Chain A
């Protein structure tokens, strides 16, 4: 960003912390950008003449006499069709060797959609994964994270979902991605011949952590351009939002804010909601769907980051390894798609809701039987059957390597019911049993 002739240059920083600098300056607007010693920074607090900025690149090596130039605007992104197929850093600068994008300059983190202008999401997103399509059906305009421990293959599953989702654009917001994962995404999209539909904003582990704070807003500003201006269906992938939240806490703790639970800022809920609520079905057909990753530590969803996320997003997809079958499954108990009732049984076959619920309930019975077994009790005949059922259910439906259509998932469900249970044990509405129960 070239400095303009009339811009005043400040050279007296009075306070430096790991993430912020404070100096005396006048006529500065809240949220405004500045360059400190060539590094991008943003105004976060003004008290009289004292202006505090968060420095995205970190403050290592910044001297108290560093040149500070205020840019007079909030962070922006230039938007146009030229964004398609390109890879950018957190500031929106190309990292793929290509030219800068020409286009309209927009402030990122822009206003919210008026709720009365939203449309109710209604387009089913088919992924072929029964743990998703059968039990936790996704809908365009939804926001949903994968909850997974760091050793789960969440990025792979996310890439697979993205490619099968038939979106017009896929926008990857990478935060603290390892370089290997970044290249993995690039390769997968390349091999699928999808590169021209992809736009990436990437902060890798090699970049300073505070920069990540810009990534979701960059990705979503690009998404809004395609969804609003071009009426496209846009899928935004945000990985890993836990690392984003960690960056938030770095900045807020440096600003002496009183931390709330798990040393996260008290505003964590609002900060995350601002991002996730960008998911929307627009009235003119465009949509933004957000699939995110929130890594857990030791499966703990009561930690402030997954906890606040769960309160904001429209469900979560919980990945875990099922030791009985040795595969990663979408856990049917802890996963949820809150928008599924908008499509199941409506866009899918009538028996979908009941098959889904019954299958999960029987899986829960199997879990009880397993506990009994572990406690050394005898199993009843019913218990034995639930265990046999559970194994097949896991293998044929819950495993993430499943790739079939929804009708086939439902048929598989009925097959398993018939094979292992009586009609009464299954307890489905009589009309449906009459139609689908085939001995």
Chain B
């Protein structure tokens, strides 16, 4: 018998329910109203009183309203047909909802029950299988979508039968497995999984080491992220978090991209809805939308579902990782999720931590980031979930709990700087404070030296030194004046400006400049570093400014031109002659 209860109190979207039987933490419950029912989740139990957070507006809920407990936690449906969908934070398919406005209590199914899929068996009778092992596959937007032994299955099973090659619906039986007790269990193409639990059906999770190309120079070249790596982008509003995340999700060399729009602007999601079906995946030529899943819980959608949305997104990412795919997940913004936790914690009258956030915020964030990773599956194949979250620090001050907790959890730190954004130096990633811990991984060093050539990491570190030196000189010039420092200092400063303008800055809205493949990044970096290694002769500092502006201008024109095109070469030749003008013999 399902546990039932009645409403005893309502504080915004926190509802207190008196129950008549057992309930479990995070169990799903529905409040029944005359015309609809409201989905909720148990978040605290105190004797007879169970506290539930409602994923909807509680307008009109009354003391005495009946509540039904479901016996399961917040789950998602996993099966073919998830790609290209637009879900809300609870995996309701937004496109299936009728009308322009969202209706409270309108829950739609995540998958299409009627669609036929071309199934191809991968396992055969008598195979020994365990959770997440591949039984067969269907083609989903050109990618092999594996049909797996459900993740909840424990122990080893024997395959009794697998469906033949042919067309099936998601709920058709595609395999029968026999468990160790000799009982037969039926498997379809759909399974369910509770979002707050990581999917761990893999053999091994080594340290990640393979570059994940994003086409963004200041990431790939300067502070690379890797397949299965973690990174975060903190920055005050307007410094370019969303533009950067969108650029990465368009360009990154991933098989699947999961975008969690978490408590941010609806128009930003609309931009993805509008553009992604038109834009091409630069790596496959298919439409971007075909590899993308969007979880939209925008700032005007229910706050409790905001927290769920990041977990929903992560679970879908882990599901595709189990198929041996490279998954990239983005969440914008994880601060909104933390704020949702804070609102609820305050309503529960829990002892507040710093800035009124819950005291276990750090642990919650760390656990979440830990779900990313590069894995060896049980069959030896690899898969990865790379996770990049944005953080929106209050008042732009990085000394606040969400930024600090995330810094402990994520391995790449892309700090967006207000003054860089003000100066339109986009992407506004501060080259000196930001870091990628992966640059220190010997595994990465080995990988990248094979990919690009040895000495690459030394070159990258040299770039950072030049940037730091440039900043020091610029501070000195500010104090002492242009005349107060040797001409040589100006040269040093302008060399750092060349790196800044040509490598770090990148126009996310220019068709050519927006995406730089790693080969082109290498070419440009070596070109720029040759300039930095050269000695130039100047009479006075004004000559330095004018001269380097010409160099920068030509290198920028190269960035705006197709790689190795006529135009590109023309600017390159002009640049060569400019360089000769003042290069020391």
Contacts and interface: CB of A to CB of B under 8 A. Distances in A.
Interface in A15-56: 26-32, 44-49
Interface residues of B, number: 74
A266 B482 contact: no
Nearest to A300: B395
Contact of B395 (A112, A261, A427): A261
A74 B59 contact: yes
Residue of A141, A142, A269, A339 with highest tally of chain B CB at under 10 A? A269
B42 to A, nearest CB: 18
A243 to B, nearest CB: 21
Interface string B333-372: 0001001001100100000100110000000000000000
B60 interface: yes
Contacts of A312: 265, 299
Residue of A28, A115, A266, A361 with highest tally of chain B CB at under 10 A? A115
A110 B342 CA distance: 25
A111 B101 contact: yes
Interface in B514-549: 542, 545-546, 549
Contacts of A7: none
A131 B100 CA distance: 35
Contacts of A257: 346
Nearest to A50: B9
B301 interface: yes
A111 B560 contact: no
Contacts of A435: none
B396 interface: yes
Nearest to A279: B267
A377 interface: yes
B11 interface: yes
A107 B57 CA distance: 13
A48 B9 contact: yes
A344 to B, nearest CB: 10
A97 to B, nearest CB: 33
Interface stretch (B19-27, B164-172, B268-276): B268-276
Interface in B67-99: 86, 94-95, 97, 99
A180 interface: no
Residue of A113, A278, A311 with highest tally of chain B CB at under 10 A? A311
Q: Which 7 A-B pairs have the closest CB atoms?
A: A273-B299, A277-B300, A302-B395, A377-B481, A310-B237, A47-B9, A29-B60
Interface string A266-282: 11011001100110101
B549 A427 contact: yes
A120 B62 contact: no
Contact of A378 (B57, B342, B483, B546): B483
Contacts of B238: 310, 315-316, 336, 338
A134 interface: no
A307 B395 CA distance: 6
Nearest to A429: B560
A311 B542 contact: no
A257 B12 CA distance: 12
A163 interface: no
Given A269-B336, A280-B266, A378-B483, A115 B394 contact: no
Contacts of B298: 112, 115, 277
B379 interface: no
B265 A29 contact: no
Interface string A364-383: 10000001100101101110
Nearest to B242: A338
Interface string A411-439: 00000000000001101011000000000
Contacts of A314: 265, 267
Nearest to A358: B424
A258 B352 contact: yes
Interface in B379-432: 392, 394-397, 422-424
A424 to B, nearest CB: 5
A396 B100 CA distance: 44
Given A48-B9, A115-B86, A118-B267, A364 B423 contact: yes
A338 B8 CA distance: 45
29 contacts: A26-B63, A27-B62, A30-B59, A31-B58, A31-B60, A46-B9, A107-B59, A111-B101, A112-B266, A112-B300, A112-B301, A115-B86, A115-B269, A115-B296, A116-B296, A118-B270, A118-B273, A142-B267, A257-B346, A270-B343, A277-B299, A277-B300, A304-B394, A316-B238, A361-B424, A377-B483, A378-B481, A382-B546, A427-B552
A188 interface: no
Contact of B397 (A48, A112, A302, A353): A302
B102 interface: yes
B10 A48 contact: no
A341 interface: yes
A299 interface: no
Interface of B: 8-12, 16, 57-64, 86, 94-95, 97, 99-104, 236-238, 263, 265-267, 269-271, 273-274, 296, 298-301, 303, 336, 339, 342-343, 346, 352, 355-356, 392, 394-397, 422-424, 478, 481-484, 509, 542, 545-546, 549-550, 552-553, 556-557, 560
A303 B394 CA distance: 9
A98 to B, nearest CB: 30
Contacts, number: 200
B108 to A, nearest CB: 11
A229 to B, nearest CB: 11
A389 to B, nearest CB: 16
A273 B300 contact: yes
Residue of B266, B267, B478, B482 with highest tally of chain A CB at under 10 A? B267
Contacts of B355: 260-261
A183 B343 CA distance: 40
B556 A30 contact: no
A429 B342 contact: no
A323 interface: no
B434 to A, nearest CB: 21
A138 to B, nearest CB: 13
Contacts of B62: 27-30, 46
A381 B545 CA distance: 11
Contacts of B63: 26-28, 46, 48-49
Contacts of A427: 549, 552-553, 556
Given A30-B59, A114-B97, A280-B266, 15 more contacts: A27-B63, A30-B58, A31-B59, A46-B9, A46-B62, A113-B101, A115-B296, A261-B394, A266-B343, A270-B339, A304-B394, A310-B238, A334-B422, A336-B238, A382-B546
A106 B303 CA distance: 23
Given A30-B58, A114-B101, A424 B553 contact: yes
Contacts of B545: 380, 382
A114 B270 CA distance: 10
Given A334-B422, A424-B553, A117 B61 contact: no
Interface string A5-17: 0000000000000
Contact of B60 (A30, A280, A282): A30
A333 B422 contact: yes
A259 B356 CA distance: 8
A160 interface: no
A119 interface: yes
A334 B355 CA distance: 27
A116 B58 contact: no
A364 B298 CA distance: 35
A45 B12 CA distance: 7
A278 B550 CA distance: 48
A46 B12 CA distance: 9
Residue of A111, A120, A307, A372 with highest tally of chain B CB at under 10 A? A111
A282 B270 CA distance: 12
